[in-house]
A and B are shown apart, each in its own frame.
Chain A
Amino acid sequence: MKILKKKANVVIIGGGISGLSIAYNLAKLGMEDVIVVEKRYLGSGSTGKCGTGIRQQFTTKEHIVLMKESVKLWEKLSEELGHDIGYKQTGYLWLIRNEEELSMFKENVKIQNEYGVPSRIISVEEALEIVPQLNPDVFIAAAFCHKDGKASPFKTINAYYEAGKKLGVEYYTYTEVKGIIVENEKIKRVITSRGNIETKKVVNAAGAGARKVGEMVGIKIPVENIRHHIMVTEPFQEFIKPMVIRGKLYFTQTDRGGIIGGIDMPETPSQPLKSRLDFLEVFARNLVKVMPILKNVNILRQWAGYYVTTKDNHPILGESEKIEGFYLATGYSGHGFMMGPVIGKLIAELIVYGKSSIPIDALKLERFERGELIYERAVIG
């Protein structure tokens, strides 16, 4: 095992897409001595368990602006990181079930278009041109954005890791953060299972562990870990290009060809990451209704992962107002993978320049104390 460094400029807690993207972007901006500390292996939390989707079809200015920039970065990410990350701009196809949903989606599309996201309402016939095997009886129209898409979480994690390593980022896996020492409201040192690291800056990108990391510095981070279920089938040549959504059901094909998908199940916070058989039943019934041809496809695996959710379904970003040098990048409420590239860029800018190129003040932790919440309606799966 590598010997732990005794000192760093920035210690990032969490080796998911957020932590890795922040580390990579810090190194890119010339920051030296950046360390990522990960309890298990890189991508072992929510990133490696996610549904692969990348979309801009959100309902708030904050999410739309962030995701529009993130998609710009995704478009060039394979080239930038020097590895194919399996990114495809094959769209999100949102099946609309009734008139009530239709009027809501019309409003959403209007907001999205205002901020330059080219989503639009399309007819059942147009949707069938995109995915011919859909059951035309279960929707009356669809919302489609061809600039939305998907990527491989594993390939993306590994690409950030290898690109960051080239720029000098150090990664300590199977290393657990046990405590953070704060003096005079300033970060002093990180205590890990493999030794201490002196530092003035810590990034809490710990995903499902973010709350615990907050407690280490006496800050309450109001997130709940909600278990979500997902499955993948045997691989096929690509025939489901976009992410298809209907109600709380979503599915698409991965870069390896498997059909990946899930559906919302009622869950209480902090359930262990065990799979539920009833998920497969609910999912299968809904899926077969939307795309009957899939009934003969074999399920290979199911698993569960956490949505680290906030009350307003928006992430918690930026430096704490109470502790100097304590940065937060968590609480994505199910959207952490797709936001990874933009979060990395903005948090790195904030650390290096004291300011991010897109303002993220509205997403600070303190919004909860101030009661300045932002509500996102479009959360799926």
Chain B
Amino acid sequence: MKIVCRCEDITYEDVVEAIRKGYTDMESLKRKLNFGMGPCRGRICIPLIMRILAKELGKKIEEIEYPSERPPLTPLPIGIFAAGEDFEEEG
């Protein structure tokens, strides 16, 4: 057993199994297995899983599209965003 995503405990075998079930692009694979959504924000798992996907599909790594990125770049506490003054209630 080889761990490829430490935030979500996903193994190499999990990735291969999902690809063989038909999750053959990074976006749907990510949503099947939940890698790239943990606190590391995909820094470790995404390059690894892109390689596994390329290998399984018989493609070159360049042919695998990187999944969408979302802000913030690093986890930030909610309190930071709540700190502003002149707070007027919404809605």
B6 at the interface (CB under 8 A from A): no
Among A173, A285, A296, A301, point to the contact of B37 (Cβ < 8 A): A301
Q: Mark B66-91, 1 if CB is under 8 A from A, else 0.
A: 00001110011111111010010111
> Which interface class (under 10, 10 to 19, 20 to 34, 35 or more) fits A?
35 or more
A-B contact pairs, 14 of them (CB 8 A): A40-B27, A41-B25, A48-B31, A154-B34, A247-B91, A248-B91, A249-B90, A281-B82, A281-B84, A285-B81, A298-B75, A299-B72, A299-B78, A300-B41
A157 at the interface (CB under 8 A from B): yes
- Contact present for A41 and B27 (CB under 8 Å): yes
- Contact present for B81 and A300 (CB under 8 Å): no
- Contact present for B70 and A299 (CB under 8 Å): no
Given contacts A44-B27, A162-B21, contact A294 B34 (CB under 8 A): no
Contacts of B70 in A (CB 8 A): 275, 301-303
Interface residues, chain A, with chain B CB atoms under 8 Å away? 40-44, 48, 154, 157-158, 161-162, 165, 173-174, 232-235, 247-249, 256, 263-264, 275, 277, 280-289, 294-303
B32 at the interface (CB under 8 A from A): yes
When C-beta atoms are compared, the residue in chain A nearest to B30 turns out to be A154
- Contact present for A264 and B31 (CB under 8 Å): no
Nearest Cβ distance between residue B26 and chain A, in whole angstroms?
9
- Contact present for A288 and B32 (CB under 8 Å): no
The 9 A-B pairs with the shortest beta carbon distances in the complex, nearest first, are A248-B91, A295-B79, A284-B81, A247-B91, A298-B75, A284-B82, A41-B28, A301-B70, A154-B31
B22 at the interface (CB under 8 A from A): yes
When C-beta atoms are compared, the residue in chain A nearest to B8 turns out to be A256
* Cα–Cα, bound, A18→B76 (Å): 35
Contacts of B71 in A (CB 8 A): 275, 277, 301-302
* Cα–Cα, bound, A41→B27 (Å): 7
Given contacts A154-B32, A263-B90, A300-B37, contact A288 B79 (CB under 8 A): yes
Contacts of A48 in B (CB 8 A): 31
* Cα–Cα, bound, A281→B81 (Å): 5
Contacts of B84 in A (CB 8 A): 281, 285
When C-beta atoms are compared, the residue in chain A nearest to B91 turns out to be A248
- Contact present for B82 and A296 (CB under 8 Å): no
Contacts of A161 in B (CB 8 A): 22
* Cα–Cα, bound, A157→B72 (Å): 26
Contacts of A43 in B (CB 8 A): 28, 31
* Cα–Cα, bound, A202→B59 (Å): 34
Contacts of A235 in B (CB 8 A): 38
- Contact present for A264 and B39 (CB under 8 Å): no
Among B31, B80, B89, point to the contact of A158 (Cβ < 8 A): B31
- Contact present for A299 and B28 (CB under 8 Å): no
When C-beta atoms are compared, the residue in chain B nearest to A380 turns out to be B91
Among B72, B77, B87, point to the contact of A295 (Cβ < 8 A): B77
- Contact present for B78 and A264 (CB under 8 Å): no
- Contact present for B39 and A298 (CB under 8 Å): yes
Among A248, A299, A301, point to the contact of B81 (Cβ < 8 A): A299
- Contact present for A294 and B78 (CB under 8 Å): yes
* Cα–Cα, bound, A295→B81 (Å): 9
When C-beta atoms are compared, the residue in chain A nearest to B33 turns out to be A154
- Contact present for A302 and B72 (CB under 8 Å): yes
* Cα–Cα, bound, A302→B74 (Å): 11
